[in-house]
């Protein structure tokens, strides 16, 4: 039977404007980095995407290299999109990226115009889309002139292959430069995608100020520290967890679950319980308390994790006492 989304989906989510653009994003977006590769169960992937959209999540975040193997997440998404979401294309913000190694030779990596244009063409084929809503340069390239990379983003918009462009993993200085080059070209930078969680707060040292000043949106990733900022590792490492599955390509590993981290997680879990939230919900809410953040990209391996995460938006306010307690725990 064909998929019919929940009719009350838009009453279940809140949306924030992305910088000074015309686009609003859901407070919680869904990312397909892990959990949508060839090794993953297609029906589970389908159910996760259905649940997300049913909950008002209108933004799905992909990249050329998501899998495993690289490209597989876009293929999985493309298959499900064709079967279930085609009718809803205009209700969706779909993003992809290029910047990490995709193919052999000098043209399959980093930030040349040659790589970005070819990679997006490949991504569009895999997903069965005519255009993506947002196309990102995935990481800064130390060798290619910034102007060339930004010109490639500008060209891609001119060609109608992306509606908006963004940057990811650029530091504050690099971001300011990129935003200004894009502005001069006439293609404004919509958004910056950055890692940000209670355990990784580098964006607080300058990047968020630049984005606020330049009126560029910010969407965060790994805000659950890949699952560490949930209660799942408090009693050992489940076989079906990201750590237990021994994934590669930047996935969290057992060595990161130290006694110090677990001690913090345990105490944060208590603060969350006192707020009547799960730790996952509190970790997402803690990011969203700052209205410079447009959206948090949640990763999910199970339908229940999407349902759990979305509930975070019901309480994103923190008392001073709660914030002080969290700071105290994080500084231990």
Site of interaction with ligand NDP (CB under 6 A): 31-35, 61, 138, 168-169, 193, 221-227, 230, 232, 241-242, 280, 297-301, 305, 308-309
Q: Measured between alpha carbons, how far is 231 from 77 in angstroms, rounded to an integer?
A: 29
The CB-of-247 to ligand NDP minimum distance in angstroms stands at 8
Work out the angle between the directed axes of helices 113-127 and 72-80 (0-180°, nearest 10).
Answer: 40
Residue the block writes with tokens 């891609």: 156
Minimal distance, residue 42 CB to ligand NDP, in Å? 17
Residue closer to ligand NDP by CB (options 112, 301) is: 301
Q: Which of 123, 222 has the CB closer to ligand NDP?
A: 222
Distances (CA, A) of 184 to 176, 178, 180, 237, 294: 12, 10, 6, 50, 24
Distance (Å) of CA 318 to CA 197, 201, 221, 321, 331: 16, 18, 21, 8, 18
DSSP state, residue 289: T
**Least Å from the CB of residue 27 to ligand NDP:** 14
Total length of the chain: 332
Q: State in angstroms the smallest separation of the CB of 320 from ligand NDP.
A: 26
DSSP state of 200: B
Q: Which residue number, 52 or 297, has a Cβ lying nearer to ligand NDP?
A: 297
Give one word for 19, left, alpha or beta, with left for phi > 0 and alpha for psi -120 to 50.
left
Residue with the two structure tokens 């509606």: 163
Helix-then-strand count for the chain, H and E? 10, 10
Nearer to ligand NDP, 229 or 326 (CB): 229
CB closer to ligand NDP out of 80 and 297: 297
Answer left, alpha or beta for residue 241, where phi above 0 means left and psi between -120 and 50 means alpha: beta
Residue closer to ligand NDP (CB basis): 4 or 304? 304
Least distance between ligand NDP and beta carbon 128 (Å) = 19
Residue number, 37 or 56, with CB nearest to ligand NDP = 37
Please report how close the Cβ of residue 144 comes to ligand NDP at its closest, in angstroms: 18
Least distance between ligand NDP and beta carbon 1 (Å):
28
Instruction: Give, to the nearest 10 degrees, the angle between helix 320-331 and helix 259-274.
Output: 170
Closest CA to 119 of 146, 156, 169, 69: 156
């Amino acid at each position: 039977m064909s998929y019919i989304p929940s009719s009350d989906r838009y009453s279940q989510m809140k949306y924030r404007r992305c910088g000074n653009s015309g686009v609003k994003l859901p407070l919680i977006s869904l990312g397909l980095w892990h959990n949508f590769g060839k090794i993953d169960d297609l029906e589970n992937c389908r159910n996760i995407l259905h649940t997300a959209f049913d909950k008002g999540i209108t933004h799905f975040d992909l990249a050329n290299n998501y899998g495993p193997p690289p490209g597989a997440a876009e293929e999985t998404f493309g298959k499900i999109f064709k079967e279930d979401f085609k009718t809803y294309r205009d209700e969706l913000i779909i993003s992809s990226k290029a910047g990490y190694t995709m193919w052999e030779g000098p043209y399959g990596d980093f930030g040349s115009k040659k790589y970005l244009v070819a990679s997006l063409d490949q991504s569009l084929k895999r997903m069965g889309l005519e255009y993506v809503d947002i196309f990102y340069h995935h990481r800064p390239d130390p060798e290619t002139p910034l102007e060339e990379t930004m010109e490639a983003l500008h060209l891609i918009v001119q060609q109608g292959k992306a509606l908006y462009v963004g940057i990811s993993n650029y530091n504050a200085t690099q971001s300011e430069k990129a935003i200004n080059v894009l502005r001069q070209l006439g293609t404004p930078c919509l958004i910056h995608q950055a890692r940000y969680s209670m355990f990784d707060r580098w964006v607080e040292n300058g990047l968020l100020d630049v984005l606020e000043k330049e009126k560029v949106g910010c969407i965060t990733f790994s805000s659950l520290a890949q699952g560490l900022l949930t209660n799942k590792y408090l009693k050992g490492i489940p076989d079906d967890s990201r750590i237990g599955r021994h994934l590669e390509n930047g996935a969290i590993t057992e060595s990161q679950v130290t006694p110090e981290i677990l001690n913090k997680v345990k105490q944060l879990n208590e603060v969350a319980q006192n707020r009547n939230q799960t730790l996952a919900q509190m970790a997402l809410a803690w990011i969203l308390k700052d209205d410079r953040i447009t959206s948090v990209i949640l990763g999910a391996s199970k339908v229940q994790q999407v349902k759990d995460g979305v509930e975070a938006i019901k309480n994103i306010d923190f008392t001073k006492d709660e914030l002080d307690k969290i700071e105290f725990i994080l500084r231990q």
